[in-house]
C-alpha cells in the first residue's frame, strides 16, 4: 500500500521519518544547532551593523530599578556613557521610562540586551 501524500507516492514525504528512523530536516521537531540558529538570525535582520539602536524600558520610578537596569545592560554592553541613557517620569511619578541608545554590533547583542533587561521582574514594558 502506498501513501499518495508524498511526491513519490511511497510515504516518504518531507515530514515522514527516514527508513532508519531519523527525522528529516523538514521536520518541525528538529532543533537547529546554536551556530545555525545564530546564522539564521543574522540573515533575517534588516539592520546594517554597526547601528545606533534605541531600547525603551518602563518600570517603577525607584533608584533601585534604574540602577538594576543599568547594571544588567552593563553586563552585556560594558562602559556605556551616562549620555546613552535618558529618563522620563510618568505623569504621576509612579513609573519611569528609560531610553537606552547604543551602537549595536549584531542582532545577537541586541537580543542579549533585551534578555538582560526583561530578566528583571519589575520591568513593565521593553520595546
- The pLDDT, as a whole number, for residue 15 is 47
Distance CA 127, CA 125 (A): 7
How far CA 88 is from CA of 41, 58, 63, 101, in Å, comes to 32, 9, 13, 14
Spatial contact of 103 and 52, defined as CB atoms under 8 Å apart: yes
pLDDT per position as a tens digit, 12-32: 444 445 555 554 455 556 666
> What value does the mean pLDDT take over residues 70-86?
97
pLDDT per position as a tens digit, 48-63: 999 999 999 999 999 9
* H helix runs in the chain, sequence order: 34-44, 63-74, 107-118
Mean pLDDT for all residues in the chain: 82
Amino acid at each position: 500500500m502506498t501513501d499518495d501524500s508524498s511526491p513519490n507516492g511511497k510515504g516518504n514525504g518531507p515530514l515522514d521519518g527516514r527508513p532508519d528512523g531519523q527525522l528529516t530536516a523538514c521536520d518541525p521537531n528538529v532543533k537547529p544547532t546554536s551556530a545555525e540558529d545564530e546564522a539564521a538570525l543574522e540573515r533575517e535582520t534588516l539592520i546594517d551593523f554597526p547601528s545606533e539602536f534605541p531600547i525603551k524600558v518602563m518600570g517603577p520610578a525607584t533608584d533601585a530599578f534604574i540602577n538594576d537596569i543599568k547594571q544588567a545592560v552593563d553586563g552585556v554592553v560594558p562602559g556605556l556613557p551616562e549620555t546613552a541613557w535618558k529618563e522620563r517620569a510618568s505623569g504621576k511619578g509612579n513609573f519611569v521610562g528609560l531610553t537606552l541608545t547604543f551602537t549595536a554590533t549584531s542582532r545577537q547583542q541586541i537580543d542579549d540586551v533585551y534578555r538582560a533587561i526583561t530578566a528583571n521582574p519589575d520591568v513593565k514594558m521593553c520595546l
